[in-house]
Amino acid sequence: MQAWGTPQRNKSITETTMNINGKIFKKGIGTHAESRIYIDTKNSVKRFVSYVGMDKGIDNGRGTIEFYVIGDDKILWQSGVMKNNDDAKKIDIDTTGVKLLLLYASDTGDGNGSDHVNWADAYLVTDGDPVITWPDVKGL
């Protein structure tokens, strides 16, 4: 669910290469703030790992995003406000015992203009399979 466009696998929301302040990423999800990605972990996800940031495909100096990883209604990680020229921030968090994981990108309350969101090189570490990457997550 998102405010504008369609989520993209392994591309930015504009269907181009994911680029966070000059760093190129080939895998992940490109979306747009406000957006919510829900993952039913089946209580088997041990870690969530990703780089997050605003896609450089739109380089007009506008837009602000804040990233949240929420597990069972508790904030597990929060990026702080990010802008177009910010470097990617890495997430590597323990999600043991979490049943519902929510990846939320906020427009920070200033509207969603230019808020192109990248969850780059994102993957889940699970009990059964060693790693699940985004193309394997059902519903995306």
CB atoms within 10 A of CB 138: 7
pLDDT at 103: 94
Q: What is the pTM of this model?
A: 0.87
Q: For each of the domains in the chain, give its residue range(s) and CATH number, in order of start.
A: 8-136 (2.60.120.1060)
Q: What pLDDT score does 138 carry?
A: 43
What is the pLDDT, as a whole number, of residue 3?
Answer: 65
Q: Tell me what pLDDT residue 118 has.
A: 93
Predicted pLDDT at 135: 46
Q: What is the pLDDT of residues 49-78, one digit of tens each?
A: 999 999 987 766 678 999 999 999 999 999
Q: Do residues 65 and 110 lie in contact, with contact meaning Cβ atoms separated by under 8 Å? A: no
3-state secondary structure of 83: coil
User: Which positions of the chain have pLDDT values less than 50?
Assistant: 130, 133, 135-140
DSSP state for residue 41 in the 8-state scheme: -
Token digits of residue 109: 């309350």
Contact predicate 115/33, CB 8 Å: yes
- 66 preceded by a cis bond (ω within 30 of 0): no
Per-residue pLDDT at 32: 87
